[in-house]
Structure 1
Amino acid sequence: MTKKISISEGFKGEEAIALPLDILQMQKLLPAKKNLFITHIGYYPEARYHLRNRDQGCNEHILIYCSEGMGWVTHENRTVHLSADTYYLIPAGEAHSYGSRDSNPWSIYWLHFKGEDSGLVQSLKGKPLALKNTGPQSKKHSLDLFHNIYENLKFGYHAETLDYISFTLLYFLASLKYQEHYLRNSRLNSENIMNKCIAIMKENLEKKLTLQELANLVGYSSSHLTRLFTEKMNSSPMTYYNRIRLEQACQYLKYSSYKIKEIAFKLGYFDPYHFSRSFNKEMGITPKIYRQQYYIPTDQINQ
């Protein structure tokens, strides 16, 4: 009989952070000590043959979010099946096992956490929690908080960072319990971030703004901002930025007397040839032809 393969970790493309013991001890001294705090956090993509058995439970609470595929959790003498966009919370000290379906392996975001129980653990435990679909982006909003926690931990374990993460974790759990309230606020926040990004882009049309600079200005990681922007605008930030630079180029070509090479340099292009290629690719004609067709002399404007 062939022995069934099982893997607890080490999946291709996985990401994980385990906080050092001295940092976990430091957590108890922070102002947020009465709140919950992260001990481990990570992501397992397409985790085929994933399996964990803990007859004595775990020292930490465990939250699993299945983003794709399917898996299962055995807890409290029953087995529940998780599919895409479903959470499950296992309290510390309670026996359990969980794993991925062989035929359609899950991709999971997961975190372990400790701390004095805020009441949220008991209210969320032991049941699969499906994210409510109240709009095309709704299933991604709670994960924004997960990514925010993960990205902050990547930058180190400063006391202020740990304090912030502790409060964010509490907010993250609350976003699962009170989804309608959270999604209402998240839609507004998402719109505000997009408006701020576009305003920054327009303020920097004459400078070659990079994705990292834009992300820093709005306080997000570049990968997180790209995901949010693409979901909202159906375009990556840099594609959108280049588009509005070319829209400004059209304005210059149509209404100003700047030479084409001057327009190129004003909009941060390496040289006039690079500008012409980009313009032609987006507009279907060269800057020279565009000017010949649409240029309006200054003395005719507003007439």
Structure 2
Amino acid sequence: MDEPVAVTPTSLREGFAGQRMFVVPGPTVRAALARPITSHLMVTDAGFFPHASRHGRARARGADQHILLVCTGGTGTCRTPDGLFHVRQGDAVLLPARVAHEYSASDEDPWTLWWMHVVGTDAAELVRATHASAGGPVTHLRDPAPVASLLSQVIDALDASTVAGQIRAAGAAWNAITQIIATGRRPRGPSLSPVELVLEHLRATTPHRTSVESLAAMVGLSASQLGALFRQQVGVPPLRYQSDLRMARARELLDSTDLAVSAVAQSTGYDDPLYFSRQFTRTHGLSPSAYRSRAQ
């Protein structure tokens, strides 16, 4: 089959309700592997599959990339030359490139997966270190949400369709794998609550907007459960909290920089400056320009 000629990631959202998936075309991957930073670790594919009923893959010769799967809900199985493994909530599976494997969601309680494929000069060593730490391809994470949050950042970065986005994706991918290496199967201290984990993710990813469904999947809850807990503990719904974070960043930029209002809008995640101005005025009672020129 001929290589695709597009140079931007392909965004696929069909298959599982709420899924996200990005595939970086071959020419873009080859160009990234020739650059200093992304030559070490490059994300070629990444995605989020919620409640992935009948999801599975069987590769007799393995894949050309190393594959990370992180299960934040439900169950499934994975078979490698090391044996058959049951995958449960909190498990991370790292499959080396060109090694036979198969995996599938359970019929009774299909898994929710965050996943990515990586290549690069350092990728194989990261996989070996992870297997050595965990004693095999499956690592149990007491709190999978931080790693899921990093994979969400990978997807957001690839969505930017820029070299800078590829670099951000590589950094988040490196962080995700090294967190798994550091965790291994060793006990950890007290876990953060689901709401605390979501707050950490939202603060780390401002100004990107993350759906309530994706946030809930990171912490193993339903969207309604997370929404109720979040309102109870924070006082506002998750989407309102995200909006407040973006507005706080907007105030900071208006107070401390000379950026045009349109640039402030872009920097805080609003593609439409007019919509940003309306939201800012509704929140603060002043337009962005009036806020900046107010008496200090």
Q: So what's the TM-score if we normalise by structure 1? A: 0.58
Partner residue in 2 for 1:129: 139
Partner residue in 1 for 2:255: none
Residue type of the alignment partner of 1:97 = E
Deviation at 1:120, TM superposition (A): 1.6
Partner residue in 2 for 1:273: none
Provide structure 1 residue ranges, at least 5 long, that are not aligned to the other structure.
1-8, 133-137, 198-213, 244-264, 270-303
Provide structure 2 residue ranges, at least 5 long, that are not aligned to the other structure.
1-13, 219-225, 245-280, 286-296
Q: Deviations over 1:84-116 (max 9, x none)?
A: 111110000000111111111111111111111
Deviation at 1:42, TM superposition (A): 0.8
1:69 aligned to which of 55, 74, 85: 74
Greater shift, 46-55 or 224-233, is seen at: 224-233
- Where in structure 2 are the equivalents of 1:1-303 lying within 5 Å? 10-118=15-123, 119-125=125-131, 126-132=136-142, 138-156=143-161, 158-179=162-183, 218-223=206-211, 233-235=233-235, 236-237=237-238
Does structure 2 conserve the Cα–Cα contact (< 8 Å) formed by 1:53 and 1:98? yes
Name the SS for the 1:46 alignment partner.
coil
Q: How many residues align?
A: 211
Query: Percent same amino acid among aligned pairs?
Result: 22
CA distance in 2, matches of 1:85, 1:223: 21
CA distance in 2, matches of 1:173, 1:167: 10
Does structure 2 conserve the Cα–Cα contact (< 8 Å) formed by 1:14 and 1:42? yes
Residue type of the alignment partner of 1:162 = Q
CA distance in 2, matches of 1:75, 1:142: 23
Residue type of the alignment partner of 2:208 = Y
Larger radius of gyration: 1
Partner residue in 2 for 1:299: none
Residue type of the alignment partner of 2:207 = G
Name the SS for the 1:178 alignment partner.
helix
Does structure 1 conserve the Cα–Cα contact (< 8 Å) formed by 2:59 and 2:102? yes
Deviation at 1:79, TM superposition (A): 0.3
CA distance in 1, matches of 2:52, 2:242: 36
CA distance in 1, matches of 2:112, 2:178: 23
Does structure 1 conserve the Cα–Cα contact (< 8 Å) formed by 2:41 and 2:118? yes
CA distance in 2, matches of 1:266, 1:166: 38
CA distance in 2, matches of 1:57, 1:242: 43
Q: Deviations over 1:14-38 (max 9, x none)?
A: 2211001221111112221342111
CA distance in 1, matches of 2:151, 2:98: 24
Residue type of the alignment partner of 1:121 = V
Does structure 1 conserve the Cα–Cα contact (< 8 Å) formed by 2:33 and 2:40? no
CA distance in 2, matches of 1:82, 1:14: 20
Residue type of the alignment partner of 1:140 = A
Deviation at 1:267, TM superposition (A): 6.7
Name the SS for the 2:150 alignment partner.
helix
Q: Deviations over 1:142-168 (max 9, x none)?
A: 222111111121122x12221222122
Cα RMSD (Å): 3.9
